[in-house]
């Protein structure tokens, strides 16, 4: 009897609170870790940079979740026809539209207000992100190519927000590397969505009818080359106005492997080989799934961080130039 009495409030909590938390899509918040990129690229590793970047991270999480809620409200009818999205709390009827609307307004209003209080640069960046999300949900997500560019622009604004919050000057190399990587992730997302459409069938977003896997493969080839080359040139050091030390080229293998691994996970044959991915259309439809669950990707990110910190430490000690 006692265990049942204890478990009943727990079940009630899971039933009432969990759908609201899930509707915010906390897994998607990993995308906002890009705000920490500017301090890392600038080798600004201190508490001031960390705290201000963390503030930008929280504000972007709030703003992003507000638009996830609004998007799910608008797409609730079509999401019910989707093999995966039908389980989203709003589409499943676990969160009411009125409650989701109120939460979205509070999150977005609070995030914008705090960003402007912190600094005009951060306020402009977050406001631009909000306007981009409005344009994306109303129009751009239905426009081929522009939808991918809008996704990439969202990542660029996140990265710039980290620089604005920490008052770090943004280099052209930083923006170029971020833009190329963001375009790469956007194309891989569309590839996985196309594969999911082939596997599961059913209704999905109209823009996918304008894409094909061969077209996305050509786009992927171009952007992958740009991603690798821009990072390689930046890591080659001060001679090209890039990183503060050419020893950063030691991190290039991690970037290469991470890009190739991500491509492998979105390859149709690899998706078919993995039974769990076959049913879900591939994890690269959701980049946050890759970052949180794929051990080789996690190891690659960890290796990049450790190598970068080691280079930074040795440079500060004067052991390397």
* pLDDT confidence bin for 22, thresholds 50/70/90: confident
Looking at the structure, do residues 320 and 240 belong to the same domain, yes or no? Answer: yes
Same domain for 261 and 217?
yes
Nearest to 75 by CA among 23, 21, 15: 23
What's the number of domains the chain is made of?
2
pLDDT tens-digit readout, 122-148: 999 999 999 999 999 888 988 999 999
The answer to whether 30 and 291 are in contact (CB under 8 A) is yes
Residues 6+ apart with CB under 8 A from 156: 175, 178, 179, 182
Between 308 and 129, where is the model more confident? 129
**SS3 per residue for 196-255:** HHHHHCCCCCHHHHHCCHHHHHHHHHHHHHHHHHHHHHHHCCHHHCCCCCHHHHHHHHHH
Average pLDDT, the chain: 84
Residue 175 inside a domain? The answer is: no
pLDDT tens figures, 24-35 = 988 889 889 989
Residue 183 has pLDDT above 50, yes or no: yes
How far is residue 131's CA from residue 139's CA, in Å, rounded to a whole number? 12
Give residue 279's pLDDT.
47
CATH number for the domain that contains residue 82 = 1.10.357.140
Domain span including residue 115:
15-170
Q: What is the mean pLDDT of residues 12-36?
A: 82
Residue 281 confidence class, pLDDT cut points 50, 70, 90? very low
Q: How far, in Å, CA of 243 to CA of 99, rounded?
A: 47
User: Are 21 and 165 in a shared domain?
Assistant: yes
The answer to which of 3-7, 170-174, 269-273 has the lowest mean pLDDT is: 3-7
pTM for the whole thing?
A: 0.81
Do 67 and 136 lie in one domain? The reply is: yes
Instruction: Please give the full DSSP string across 16-67, using - where no structure is assigned.
Output: HTHHHHHHT-GGGGGGGGGGGHHHHHTT--SHHHHHHHHHHHHHHHHHHHHH
């Amino acid at each position: 009897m006692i265990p049942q009495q204890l478990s009943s409030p727990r079940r009630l909590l899971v039933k009432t609170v969990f759908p609201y938390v899930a509707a915010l899509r906390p897994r998607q918040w990993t995308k906002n870790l890009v705000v920490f990129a500017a301090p890392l690229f600038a080798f600004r590793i201190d508490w001031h940079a960390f705290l201000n970047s963390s503030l930008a991270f929280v504000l972007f999480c709030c703003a992003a979740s507000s638009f996830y809620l609004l998007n799910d409200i608008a797409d609730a009818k079509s999401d019910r026809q989707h093999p995966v999205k039908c389980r989203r709390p709003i589409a499943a009827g676990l969160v009411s539209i009125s409650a989701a609307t109120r939460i979205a307004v509070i999150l977005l209003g609070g995030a914008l207000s705090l960003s402007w209080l912190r600094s005009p640069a951060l306020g402009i960046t977050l406001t631009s992100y909000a306007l981009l999300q409005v344009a994306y949900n109303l129009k751009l997500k239905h426009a081929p190519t522009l939808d991918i560019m809008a996704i990439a622009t969202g990542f660029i604004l996140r990265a710039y927000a980290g620089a604005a919050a920490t008052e770090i000057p943004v280099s052209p190399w930083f923006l170029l590397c971020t833009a190329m990587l963001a375009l790469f992730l956007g194309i891989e997302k569309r590839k996985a969505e196309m594969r999911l459409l082939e596997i599961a069938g059913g209704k999905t977003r109209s823009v996918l009818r304008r894409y094909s896997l061969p077209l996305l493969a050509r786009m992927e080839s171009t952007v992958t080359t740009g991603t690798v080359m821009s990072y390689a040139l930046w890591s080659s050091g001060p001679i090209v106005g890039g990183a503060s030390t050419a020893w950063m080229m030691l991190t290039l293998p991690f970037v290469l492997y991470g890009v190739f691994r991500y491509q492998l996970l979105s390859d149709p044959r690899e998706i078919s080989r993995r039974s769990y991915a076959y049913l879900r259309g591939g994890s690269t439809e959701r980049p946050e799934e890759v970052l949180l669950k794929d051990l080789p990707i996690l190891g690659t990110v960890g290796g990049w961080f450790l190598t970068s910190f080691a280079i930074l430490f040795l440079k500060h000690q004067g052991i390397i130039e």
